[in-house]
Amino acid sequence: AVPLVVAVSTTKSAKNGLLIRDRAAFERARDLDAIVFDKTGTLTEGRFGVSEVVALGGLDENEALALAAALEGQSEHPIARGIVRGAQDRGLTIQQPGEFRNLPGEGVEAEVGEATVRVVSPGYVERQGLAVNSDRPERLAADGHTVVYVVRDNEAVGAVALADIVREESRQAIDRLKALGIQCMMLTGDSQQVARSVAGELGLDDYFAEVLPDQKAKQIREVKDRGLTVAMVGDGVNDAPALVEADLGIAIGAGTDVAVESADIVLVNSDPRDVAAVAELSAATYRKMI
């Protein structure tokens, strides 16, 4: 039989947009030692604005941004939306690209005219050993900007620096979770510098940056190996294996179908404070039963 107090709590949670798949999962929320959050769109707004474009040769700033936007029109990534908006705000003409490919955790690629164009992470540029003839992009990154490179036929022709903002709700969620004695951590494909700056702003206990999509689950395992009971909070397709690996998988926001299917708990409203609400509600519920 379902203990009455659990039934009451889960009804209460459903009203608040917390969908709990199974009661065991809800009970596990009481025992959490650590919660790992996805960064973009979970702890941050996920609304990137273009703060600066750096021309690296061959193209001027506007041409580099327009070329990036030609590819990003095909992508759903928050960085992509920011680049397209940035190009539109500047009144740039955006070409229609040819065949398009996602490079998971690294960027996007498409044929534009005769050229193969990529918009990619600093990590990708480094791994490919591409020359960047300016230290401006790295300085922007050191400043906490998310930087992506525009690469045309294996030549870095531009860099776009974008800024996202930490959500006010995240600050409150982290403070409440820490009050419960839960360690708060962050997992991101974004750079070390960006991760360090967000982690510092929120007072996170730990963070993992430049994690490729297929490494996210492994990173959760590493936290479990510290002897911690861990929850993962994420919304993307890339987050699904990590949600499964965690002791408790929490899908947040509209989320992708894959993330929702992989989760034990679904938070319908895209509000990180609901993660704190689940932990608090579980603690209160199971305290009453003892």
* Catalytic annotation, residues: 38
**Binding residues for ligand ADP (CB under 6 A):** 38-40, 72, 75, 77, 79-80, 105-108, 119-121, 146, 148, 188-190, 213, 236, 238
- Residue 80 near which of ligand ADP, Mg ion, none (CB within 5-8 Å, type-dependent): ligand ADP
- Residue 264 near which of ligand ADP, Mg ion, none (CB within 5-8 Å, type-dependent): none
> Is residue 236 part of the contact set for Mg ion (CB under 5 A)?
yes
Could you please report the per-residue DSSP string of 158-198? EEEEEE--B-HHHHHHHHHHHHTT-EEEEE-SS-HHHHHHH
Phi, psi for residue 122 in degrees, rounded to 5: -60, -35
Per-residue three-class SS string for 67-134 = HHHHHHCCCCCHHHHHHHHHHHHCCCCCCCCCCEEEECCCEEEEEECCEEEEEECHHHHHHHCCCCCC
- Residue 271 near which of ligand ADP, Mg ion, none (CB within 5-8 Å, type-dependent): none
Of 77, 39, 78, 82, the closest CA to residue 272 belongs to: 39
CB of 131 to ligand ADP, least distance (A): 19
Nearer to ligand ADP, 9 or 188 (CB): 188
Footprint (CB under 5 A) of Mg ion, residues 31-60: 40
> Is residue 249 part of the contact set for Mg ion (CB under 5 A)?
no
> Which two three-digit tokens encode residue 233?
């909070």
Phi, psi for residue 184 in degrees, rounded to 5: -110, 130
Residue position matching structure tokens 């860099």: 159
Q: C-alpha 178: how far from its chain's center?
A: 21
Footprint (CB under 5 A) of Mg ion, residues 119-158: none
Rounded Cα distance between 210 and 197, Å, is: 14
Nearer to Mg ion, 109 or 190 (CB): 190
Nearer to Mg ion, 13 or 40 (CB): 40
CB of 161 to ligand ADP, least distance (A): 11
> Is residue 82 part of the contact set for Mg ion (CB under 5 A)?
no
Nearer to ligand ADP, 137 or 274 (CB): 137
Judged by the rule CB under 5 A, the positions of this chain that interact with Mg ion are 40, 236
